[in-house]
Amino acid sequence: MKISRAWKIAGVAVAAAAVAVAPAMASLNNTTLDGKSVILTTAGSDTTFGAALNFSRIYNELPGCDVTVFSGQATATYGSCTNTAAGSNTFNTTPATGANPQHDSVVDEFPIGSGSGAKLVGDANIVTSHGLSVDLGRSSSTPATTLNAIAFAKEGVSWFHFTKVAGKATAHTSVTNLTPAQLADVYSGTFTTWNELAPTDPKLGAMKAYTKTVDGKVVAVKAGVTNGNPETDKSKLYVNYLPLVVYSAQDGSGTRKMWDGFMTTAKTGFTLTANAKKIFENNADPIVTNGDAANAIFYFSTARYAYRNGIALNSGNNKGYAFGNVSGNSTNRAAYTDTLGNVNDVAPTTANIKAGTFSFGRFLFFSTRKVASASVKNYVRFLCSADMDTATDAYGATIRPQIDKAIQSEGFIKLDLNPADKDLDGNVASTYCKTTLAK
């Protein structure tokens, strides 16, 4: 029994919503495919997990070859493209054109961090609990040069703090902008107080003055000096002493790798302070649970922050989101607010990140092995190729707008069409991705 891709129920082809549409097929180069349907697995980043799930939902339903199933008989060709003219157990090595020509399926593993995902891609002998090797690494940092890197979107990372805790404004709400150098001093442990980040603030910057009696009168001595010597105990330096509690993302996180890279650029020899508390990226809930919200500083993916706060992204024209001292509530707790701060007086907005004026922008990637399989190449072609501008799904809808929505609905910024990038074979191609081939 031969089944074309519509809805397949109990071996019967059913047209969805009774709409008979002859979908346009992309004229892709499928000559390297073998007609055998495979399961591709992605693993790695938490930041890009939602986008990957969106892509998979689209890809797994796209048109391709006719699939032959033999009633009452298990065959080696079950679920694949069968060349019925050559025999019931013969694969069609040149399946019909279509965005998913041999009906491969994509499975997205739960997040384990970009670095861990890349390691799984780099070693094909490691298999998941499902018995599958990982074909595509999800990464929010630049993958190793031994892997192909396919950048499909862009976003930013900015510093984060609570502006209201249990209904009370935090003492550091006035700190709305930090420089990369200040952040590097915080994350290296040089700065250990909010006071040091706001020296001109009337409250946070106010320093205690040592007093002594001269000729029977009490007089003030230079602030920050005790008995003529510089005071090293910071709790004795400030009128309103406010210690910092530094939070960082977990080991293996792509967001952590990018943040540490930004800090290293700002401060030679940067090393993360041993006092940093490590929690899972893009989730400030443990900060509240630990009782540190009033003192904590953390960092967040701008896209995940937007997603957690339900900020409208306006995918139609990609105006996107705007932060910078605008209160959100990423932990969804009553009487709590938080925000992403500015860096070098530039807010982490869509426009600033896309233009490169926000200091901490980054690309988001899939990584593949240096020699990628035909099925992996076809998935990357689906994600990146300009062919998707005209190719349609099984119901006649153009594919590219669906991919754009999958990117933008997660808060990311889609990349513009580049007519002269490369595909995974090193050929010049018109693509919506930025491809770096493994060395």
d(CA 255, CA 138): 12
Residue 96 is given by DSSP the state: P
Cα dihedral sign for 129, 130, 132, 135? negative
Identify which of 418, 391, 417 has the alpha carbon closest to the alpha carbon of residue 402. Answer: 391
3-class DSSP state of 37: coil
Same domain, 398 and 358: no
At position 205, the amino acid (one-letter code) is: G
Q: Which residues have a Cβ under 8 Å from the Cβ of 78 and sit 6 or more positions away? A: 69, 70
Same domain, 166 and 309: yes
Cα 346–chain centre separation: 21
Residue 229 buriedness (CB in 10 A; 0-12 / 13-18 / 19+): exposed
Same domain, 117 and 224: no
Identify which of 377, 351, 437, 433 has the alpha carbon closest to the alpha carbon of residue 400. Answer: 433
d(CA 404, CA 366): 16
Predicted confidence (pLDDT) per residue in 409-438, tens digit = 888 999 999 998 988 999 999 999 999 999
Q: Which residues have a Cβ under 8 Å from the Cβ of 374 and sit 6 or more positions away? A: 32, 33, 34
Same domain, 177 and 305: yes
Same domain, 308 and 277: yes
pLDDT for res 64:
86
Same domain, 108 and 216: no
Residue 410 buriedness (CB in 10 A; 0-12 / 13-18 / 19+): buried
pTM: 0.80
Whether the CB-CB separation of 114 and 139 falls below 8 Å is answered with yes
pLDDT for res 168:
97
Boundary of a domain, candidates 316, 337, 362: 362
Same domain, 272 and 174: yes
Identify which of 105, 32, 20, 18 has the alpha carbon closest to the alpha carbon of residue 64. Answer: 105
Same domain, 134 and 267: no
Same domain, 289 and 428: no
pLDDT for res 177:
96
Low-confidence ranges of the chain (pLDDT < 70): 1-33, 68-79, 82-97, 124-125, 127-131, 210-214, 217-231, 311-326
The CB density around residue 121, as the number of other CB atoms within 10 Å, is 30
Q: What is the dihedral of CA 73, 75, 77, 80, to 10 degrees?
A: 50
Beta strands 418-422 and 225-226, pairing class: unpaired
Boundary of a domain, candidates 326, 341, 362: 362
Q: What integer best gives the mean pLDDT of the chain? A: 83
Write down the H helix ranges in 101-194.
114-122, 180-188
Domain count, the chain: 3
Domain range spanning residue 292?
156-204+234-362
3-class DSSP state of 263: helix
Same domain, 330 and 283: yes
Residue 269 is given by DSSP the state: T
Residue 168 buriedness (CB in 10 A; 0-12 / 13-18 / 19+): exposed
Which residues does residue 168 pair with via DSSP β-bridges, in sequence order? Answer: 165
pLDDT for res 209:
72
Predicted confidence (pLDDT) per residue in 15-48, tens digit = 333 333 333 333 333 446 677 788 999 999 999 9
Predicted confidence (pLDDT) per residue in 325-341, tens digit = 567 899 999 999 999 99
Identify which of 88, 95, 41, 48 has the alpha carbon closest to the alpha carbon of residue 69. Answer: 88
Which residues does residue 153 pair with via DSSP β-bridges, in sequence order? Answer: 364, 414
Beta strands 105-108 and 337-340, pairing class: unpaired
Cα dihedral sign for 231, 232, 236, 239? positive
d(CA 373, CA 56): 18
Q: b vs e for 178-190, b when ≥16 Cβ sit within 10 Å of the residue's Cβ?
A: bebebbbbbbbee
d(CA 242, CA 268): 27
pLDDT for res 124:
67
d(CA 193, CA 232): 13
d(CA 98, CA 76): 23
Residue whose structure tokens are 């701008």? 302
Boundary of a domain, candidates 338, 362, 386: 362
Same domain, 219 and 74: no
Same domain, 170 and 248: yes
